[in-house]
Structure 1
Amino acid sequence: MDDNKDVVDKDGLQLSLRTPEMRRILTSSFIGSAIEFYDFILYATASSIVFAQLFFSGLGPGLSLFASFSTLAAGYLARPLGGVIFGHFGDRIGRKTALIVSMLMMGSVTVLIGLMPSTASIGMFAPAALFTLRIIQGIAVGGEWGGAALMALEHAPKARRGLAAAFANAGGPAGAILATLVLSLTATLTGDDFVTWGWRLPFLLSAVLIVVGLIIRLKVSETPAFQQLEDESDEKKVPLLTVFKQYKRQVLIALLATMTIYVTQGLTTVWGVSVAVAAGEDKSEVLNWKAVGALTTLIVTFVVARLSDRIGRKRALIGAHAVAAVSALPIVLLINSGEIDKYALAIILGNGVVQGLCFGPIAAYVSELLPPAVRYTGASVGYQFAAALGAGLSPMIASALIMIPGTGPYLIGGVWALIAIAGIVAVALGRPYVEPSPERAPEPVNKFEEPVTQSAEA
């Protein structure tokens, strides 16, 4: 079969990732996700180097950074709520509609953050408003990942689902690269004015990016898996209830399998940046190395996603978590040195290699745990709770533990390693949902078995 022909099977699934339709779908998932995560990661980076001075300056250096990280955590803690809200409508009225609304919400809030006056101008209303806007950001991005991953996965042939779903995940590091480079360039161009007004420019740029993303996203079709669902099926009435009645185990597995990704992200790209900047390293140089780490994540994600289509999601993810467990403490010690060359190595190893190894298979792994009727809700809840707990709390926990004389770095590394080990156990216990074929009677919705290998499908 010619891999370039625009062909579909009898169920409407594309038979190749190289068809014009699949290219539009993958582009939409990648760019849409990249734009939303540009907004989300932009805030995370700004919270490390700017917001403590602008919105919490009266608390002293240590407490002001902790307070800044608390608003960062609020966005991550709101992500599960976004997963529930957008998951409900994504399972009820469609993946595409939910994605368009989440993008509009994210873009509007990011522009408002860019216009927010400082505490010196409007008093305590400033941090309160910033906190509220960050929560709305979290809700929006909480709805993005599930929809973007499912748009790619549910259109793709089964033997290519790992690679297809990775386009949504790869949008995260791509957005991080863009956010970091734009912030770094702005810091260089505005110099001493960066803290007063230069930091606002990357946030205002979001308005342009959202328009581009919407144009691309409006051109793709709804997924065949959603179109084949019965409009009034019992599972679709209240997807969240179905998930917690029948799929609690799968949600917990998804959470534990994903946690390492976001602990790694929180420690290397947020807490690590704050340590390097506090040690006196140049902001632009720190941000540039952060961009290198994100680029490494992007490359490793695609390589491992393709590998997972060959060897299976489970083997790929268990190997990734094992690498995370072994490298956790060395990476923390490199970050804690406060030296730019050691921080560069830490962010390439942590944010780049470790996170990329886990990122590659995770979107397909989590999505395949659940049936299509509740997949948006169930996958989003498990994944977004992991993001909330992992990336939302790890910078605050690390900033507290590091103050313990002597043992601080070892405690941080030990917690990170234990989370990775928990991920290994969860992945080992997980089984993908088996979608009934048209040739046989439907199987019970909670039945699981081992995934079909690529060679068997061929």
Structure 2
Amino acid sequence: MTSPSTPHRTADTAAEARKVAFGAFVGTALEWYDFFLYGTAASLVFNRVFFVTDNPVASTMAAFASFGVGFAARPVGAVIFGRMGDKVGRKKTLIITVIMIGVATALIGLLPSYVTIGVAAPILLTLLRLVQGLAVGGEWGGAVTLAIEHAPPEQRGRFGVMPQIGSPVGTLLSSGAFLAVGLLPQEDFMSWGWRLPFLAAIPLLAIALYLRVKIEESPLFEVMLKEEELAKTPVRDVFSLTRRELLIGAGSTLLGVGGFYLVTTFAIAYGTGTLGLPRSLLLGATLAAAAVEIVILIAFGRAVERFGAGRVTLLGGVLSALVAIPAFLMLDTRNPAMVVLAIVIAVALLSIPYAASGVLLTSLFPANLRYSGVALASNIGAVVSGFVPFAATWAYAATGNSSMGPATLLILLSLVTAGSGFLASRRRDATAEELSGTTPSGSPRRHA
């Protein structure tokens, strides 16, 4: 069986593409709000409420380990929902994922503490984090696939970046929520205030679900369904036929995801716990960085259309490697302006390859394997990324309590992503025909 050679449906107007991209953006923003919320709480709350030990460093590492569990679950979610997205439909699958993560997040806000129910508290928290991870494992890959398959061929960069913009918006919402409840007295914040941002997932879920139900299914998927050209075993085919593409895709995501958590989640814990900086300063810096990231994503989403996703990814990786050490030296000054500037610059540069992720990953896989391929590639990278705050904490201790440990880790992530962007650019950046399921010559690409 071959992947469909039917060209991108011309009836998809730019207005329809914008509607789909906006729906994908809103749903993804909720997903990332919920997912990032856990990261912030792991830095500020969970080590004291759920993972209670006599050693503060051990408690923080335990909280970050539970944070990493969500990332470990993401490839499993990619397998489950990737297969569903390639066989049942992009839209139906995305409705399921958004419901799962919204409900799991609200339940975290209702979870009793370690003092109340003992060891059951961290166990239940970790299980809910697992559900979050499964849902996110199928979310981003489907959202970006749906957005790009609806987009006009010459504008895939700008439409493909819309789900990525959900990431900084989710950061703004989650950090803003914690910044607001952080104004409460410390006792109130630790007892009930931190729960409010998690419970806010309920109304946000209602909005995202409404918008997601209204969007249209991918026209390309409808063509494949009608012509019976769906892959019978998409996940197995991805591993057997596109292994190289899978590795390139996974490597290209490491900086945008793992690097982001290093300079936000780890930096919050490092700044408040080690440097003695105010919690509000670090959260404020994260908010500023997220606002700048939105601008970077929009600008480099357009740049992808001109220069190609591989070259943009390479550029972002190299620039991030160059600023890793200076950024941590700025953080160590404890000067508020320098601290904010360090986090803003680091996030801005690592957002460059993130802007290219949608087009780069969707270009690697044929249409009938695309949801599975994109989901698996991004989430294999996420397994490593999820444990970056834990690894950064270890690297800090292993280097004699030096910030050069986590700085070196950021350099490594940057270089892996830069190398992946180079390989992707050598392979070639996506053409309109390739993203419609065919090779540039017009012949169908065989998937089995």
Query: Using the alignment, how far apart are the partners of 1:111 and 1:358 within structure 2?
Result: 32
Conserved 8 A contact 1:286-1:340: no
Among candidates 65, 68, 80, match of residue 70 of structure 1: 65
Which amino acid in structure 1 is aligned with residue 9 of structure 2? G
2:350 corresponds to 1:349: no
1:288 counterpart (284, 296, 313):
284
- Contact 2:79 2:372 (C-alpha < 8 Å) held by counterparts: yes
What are the Cα deviations for residues 132-179 of structure 1, in whole angstroms up to 9, with x where unaligned? Answer: 110110111111101111111000011111110100011011011011
Structure 2 residue 413 is matched with structure 1 residue 419: yes
Structure with higher RCO (Cα < 8 A, 6+ apart): 2
Counterpart Cα distance in 1 of 2:52 and 2:254: 32
Post-superposition offset of 1:234: 7.2
Distance 2:60 2:139 in 1: 28
What is the CA distance between 1:88 and its match in structure 2?
A: 0.6
Tell me which amino acid in the other structure corresponds to 1:292: A
> Match for residue 3 of structure 2?
none
CA contact (8 A) 1:166 1:363 kept: yes
- Please give the secondary structure, in 2, of the residue aligned with 1:236: coil
Cα offsets for 1:31-59 (capped at 9, x unmatched):
11101111000110010001101012224
Question: Which of 395, 399, 414 lines up with 1:401 in the alignment?
Answer: 395
2:103 corresponds to? 108
SS in 1 for 2:18: helix
Q: 1:316 to 1:15 in 2, by over 3 A?
A: farther
Matched, 1:240 2:235: yes
Question: For 1:251 and 1:438, how far apart are their aligned partners in 2?
Answer: 18
Per-residue deviation, 1:194: 0.4
Query: Is the 1:83–1:142 contact (alpha carbons within 8 Å) kept by the matching residues of 2?
Result: yes
- Return the letter of the residue paired with 1:397: A
For 1:249, the equivalent position in structure 2 comes to: 244
Q: CA deviation at 1:446?
A: 7.0
Residues 336/395 of structure 1: CA separation in 2 closer, same or farther (3 Å cut): farther
Matching residue of 2:38: 43
Of stretches 304-313 and 277-286 in structure 1, the one that deviates more from structure 2 is 277-286
Task: Give, as a single letter, the amino acid of the residue that structure 1 aligns with 2:260.
Answer: Q
Contact (CA 8 Å) 1:190, 1:198: kept in 2 or not? no
Counterpart in the other structure of 1:389: 384
Shift of 1:26: 1.6
Q: CA RMSD in A?
A: 2.2
The answer on whether the counterparts of 1:87 and 1:377 sit within 8 Å (CA) in structure 2 is yes
1:149 aligns with 2:132: no
- State the one-letter code of the partner of 1:347: I
Q: Distance in 2 between matches of 1:230 and 1:104?
A: 25
The DSSP-based 3-state class of the residue aligned with 2:53 is helix
Residues 264 and 354 of structure 1 are in contact (CA less than 8 Å); yes or no, is this contact kept in structure 2?
no
The separation in 2 between residues aligned to 1:377 and 1:388, in whole angstroms, is 16
Deviations 1:233-263 (A, max 9, x none): 5762121110011001101000111111122
- Equivalent residue runs for 1:16-165 within 5 Å: 17=14, 19=15, 21-165=16-160
Amino acid at match of 1:113: I
Give the AA of the match of 2:412: L
- SS in structure 1 of the partner of residue 397 of structure 2: coil
Distance 1:168 1:187 in 2: 29
Q: Cα 1:441–1:265, aligned 2, differ >3 Å: closer, same or farther?
A: closer
**CA, structure 1 residues 437+47, in 2 after alignment: closer, same or farther (shift >3 Å)?**
closer
User: Which residue pairs with 1:456 in the alignment?
Assistant: none
Helix, strand or coil at the partner of 2:224: coil
Where does residue 318 of structure 1 map in the other structure? 314
- Asked whether the 8 Å contact 2:231–2:368 carries over to 1, the reply is yes
1:353-364 correspondence runs (5 A): 353-364=348-359
For 2:137, what is the secondary structure of its paired residue? helix
Equivalent of 1:410 in 392, 395, 404: 404
Give the 3-state SS of the residue equivalent to 1:218 in structure 2: helix
- Aligned partner of 2:323 in structure 1 is 327
State the shift of 1:415 in Å.
3.0
What stretches of structure 1 move > 4 A for 4+ residues in a row? 13-16, 230-235, 336-339, 435-441
Contact 1:14/1:156 (8 A) holds in 2: no
User: Is the 1:14–1:157 contact (alpha carbons within 8 Å) kept by the matching residues of 2?
Assistant: no
**Structure 1 residues 257 and 405: alpha-carbon distance in aligned structure 2, compared to 1, 3 A threshold:** closer
**Structure 1 Cα separation of the partners of residues 261 and 8 of structure 2:** 41
Cα 1:11–1:320 change in 2 (3 A) is closer
Alpha-carbon distance in 2 for matches of 1:361, 1:307: 9
State the shift of 1:282 in Å.
Answer: 2.2
Q: CA deviation at 1:421?
A: 2.0
Partner of 1:304: 300
1:219 counterpart (202, 205, 214): 214
Partner of 2:176: 181
In 1, distance between residues paired with 2:266 and 2:182? 19
Q: Residues of 1 paired with 2:126 and 2:289: CA distance?
A: 28
Between the aligned partners of 2:163 and 2:227, the Cα distance in structure 1 is: 29
2:157, 2:304 within 8 Å by CA — same for their partners in 1?
A: yes
Q: Which amino acid aligns with 1:442?
A: S
User: Distance in 1 between the 2:194 and 2:105 partners?
Assistant: 12
Equivalent residue runs for 1:167-178 within 5 Å:
167-178=162-173
Distance 1:55 1:312 in 2: 46
Give me the TM-score of the superposition, normalised by structure 2. 0.92
Shift in CA distance, 439/51, structure 1 to aligned 2, threshold 3 Å: closer
Q: What residue is the counterpart of 1:443 in the other structure?
A: 444
Q: Which amino acid aligns with 2:398?
A: I
Partner of 1:454: none
- TM-score with structure 1 length normalisation? 0.90
Give yes or no for contact 2:13–2:152 (8 Å, CA) kept in 1: yes
Superposed counterparts of 1:203-218, under 5 Å:
203-218=198-213
